[in-house]
Chains A and B, each alone.
Chain A
Amino acid sequence: SAVISQKPSRDICQRGTSLTIQCQVDSQVTMMFWYRQQPGQSLTLIATANQGSEATYESGFVIDKFPISRPNLTFSTLTVSNMSPEDSSIYLCSATETTGEGEKLFFGSGTQLSVL
């Protein structure tokens, strides 16, 4: 299976600053996604990172707050902008890989973000 490297693994940030999270896949993948996992809650899809075009955002998420880049088929970044304590969460990068059993969604190890 493909391997996703995500960094930083954790960070503590000040209110009003921005953090960029990087996601590197060791093989070319068609689809890459960004999820948020807030404390005590399930995973929520933020957006689909599209290679060569603007990301597709889910309801409740906007590009100004969560700009996403996808310059090629193996790399994507998510920026959490103008952070507030409510942005404290785990952010997960994921990608789909096509196997003999169909598409499989796999994940990076996540970025634990704490905003003071």
Chain B
Amino acid sequence: AQSVTQPDIHITVSEGASLELRCNYSYGATPYLFWYVQSPGQGLQLLLKYFSGDTLVQGIKGFEAEFKRSQSSFNLRKPSVHWSDAAEYFCAAPEGGNNRKLIWGLGTSLAVNP
């Protein structure tokens, strides 16, 4: 069965430090992959998505993610974290290739120290 795994439940970084949030997937074919962010009291916002082509994907708010088939990973990165990046981050992939039904990771909670 398909699955999306986010190994880190909670991460704390200092403001200005670099960030990498891990996401691993299990899916036979090349998956579509998404990263969403959920700020406190707000809904989910799409950060970026990978469909095909260039494996390094640029998103909003200075985030990027790299699709690595050999590692079944789609890790989210940001070179310099801002305090406003503190939020919950979710990795997701369509179930069975259906973009309308996503399988979600459990999320990674990011705290940013001043």
Contact = CB atoms under 8 A, between A and B. Distances in A.
Interface string A1-43: 0001010010000000000000000000001010000001111
Give chain A's interface residue range (CB within 8 Å of chain B): 20 to 34
Given A42-B106, A102-B51, A92 B44 contact: yes
Contacts of A103: 99-100
Nearest to B107: A42
Give chain B's interface residue range (CB within 8 Å of chain A): 20 to 34
Contact of A107 (B43, B105, B106): B43
B46 interface: yes
Given A42-B90, A43-B90, A102 B99 contact: yes
A106 B100 contact: no
A105 B105 contact: no
Contacts of B90: 42-43
B45 A45 contact: no
Q: Which of B34, B45, B100, B104 has the most CB of A within 10 A?
A: B100
A29 to B, nearest CB: 11
Classify the interface of chain A: helix, strand, loop or mixed.
Answer: strand
B104 A105 contact: no
Interface in A85-111: 92, 94, 96, 101-110
25 contacts: A9-B41, A42-B90, A42-B106, A43-B44, A43-B90, A43-B102, A43-B104, A45-B101, A48-B100, A92-B44, A94-B44, A96-B99, A96-B100, A101-B51, A102-B99, A104-B46, A104-B49, A105-B34, A105-B46, A105-B99, A107-B43, A107-B45, A109-B42, A109-B43, A110-B42
Interface of A: 4, 6, 9, 31, 33, 40-43, 45, 48, 92, 94, 96, 101-110
